[in-house]
A and B are shown apart, each in its own frame.
Chain A
Amino acid sequence: QQQVKQSPQSLIVQKGGIPIINCAYENTAFDYFPWYQQFPGKGPALLIAIRPDVSEKKEGRFTISFNKSAKQFSLHIMDSQPGDSATYFCAGSGTALIFGKGTTLSVSS
C-alpha cells in the first residue's frame, strides 16, 4: 500500500492549546484526505476531510491545512479540550482509505 506518514506519534497539550498533527503522502492519485478520531474501544469516526483543490478547510474548532506541492496536510485543533483526548488518524484515498499510524493526543486540564 502507498504510505501515509503521520507525526508526531503522541502529543500532550494543555487545555486551550492548539495541537498540530502532520501527514505526508506519496501517491499523487489520492483525491480525498480525511481525518478520523478514535476513542478507546470504538471504531474511528470521520472528523473532517479535504480535497486537494482546496488549501484550507474549517469545521468548528478543527482546521485542515493542505499543501499539494509538498504533498503534506495537517490538522489543527483550536482551543483544545480534555474531551479531544483521543487518537487521530490521517488518511489518503484511492479506491479505499490508506491510514497513517495515528497520533495519540492528551489534553490536560
Chain B
Amino acid sequence: EAGVAQSPRYKIIEKRQSVAFWCNPISGHATLYWYQQILGQGPKLLIQFQNNGVVDDSQLPKDRFSAERLKGVDSTLKIQPAKLEDSAVYLCASSTGGPSYGYTFGSGTRLTVV
C-alpha cells in the first residue's frame, strides 16, 4: 500500500510571500488531516476533512491559512501571507475513518520563513 505523499519536502520563503503544500492520501482513506508541527513540539491539528467536507477547522488561522480537498482525494494547504512564526513542518495524515482506525502520516513539508 502506497503511503501518504506530500510535496514539496522543503520550502524556504520570505515573510509575506505565499506558499502551498500538496497531499495525496492513501487510496480509499476518507478522512484527511493537516497538522502543524513546530520544532520541539507535538503536532497541532489545523483542519480535518471527511471526504471533501470540513469536519473541524477551529484551529486554522483563517486570515492567512486556507485548505481544500477537491473530489475527496488530494488536498492543498495554502498560507498567504506567511509570517516568521509559520516556520514548521506541515504534516498530512489520512485514515479510513476516525482516529481509532489509526492515522498514516506523510513525511511532511518543512517550511522556513525568513
A binds B: yes
Q: Residues of A at under 8 Å CB distance from B?
A: 1, 4, 6, 31-32, 34, 36, 41-46, 49, 51, 89, 91, 93-102
By a CB distance below 8 angstroms, the chain B residues around A100 are 42
Chain A residues with CB under 8 A of B44 = 1, 99
Closest residue of chain A to B41 (Cβ to Cβ) is A101
Contacts A102-B41, A102-B42; is A95 near B105 (CB within 8 Å)?
A: no
Most interface-central of A1, A91, A95, A101 (chain B CB within 10 A): A95
Please give the number of chain B residues whose Cβ is less than 8 angstroms from any Cβ of chain A in the complex.
25
Across the interface, A89 reaches (CB within 8 A) one of B40, B43, B108, namely: B43
Q: What is the chain A residue whose CB lies nearest that of B6? A: A43
Task: Let me know if B60 is at the binding interface, CB within 8 A.
Answer: no
Q: List 27 A-B contacts (CB under 8 A).
A: A1-B45, A32-B99, A32-B100, A34-B99, A34-B102, A36-B103, A43-B4, A43-B105, A44-B43, A44-B91, A45-B105, A46-B102, A49-B100, A49-B102, A89-B43, A91-B99, A93-B99, A95-B56, A95-B99, A96-B33, A96-B45, A97-B33, A97-B99, A99-B35, A99-B42, A99-B44, A101-B40
Taking Cβ atoms with an 8 Å cutoff, the residues of B that contact A are 4, 33, 35, 40-45, 48, 55-56, 59, 91, 93, 98-100, 102-108
Taking a contact as CB atoms closer than 8 A, the residue among A42, A93, A98, A99 that contacts B98 in the complex is A93
Contact A1 B59 (CB under 8 A): yes
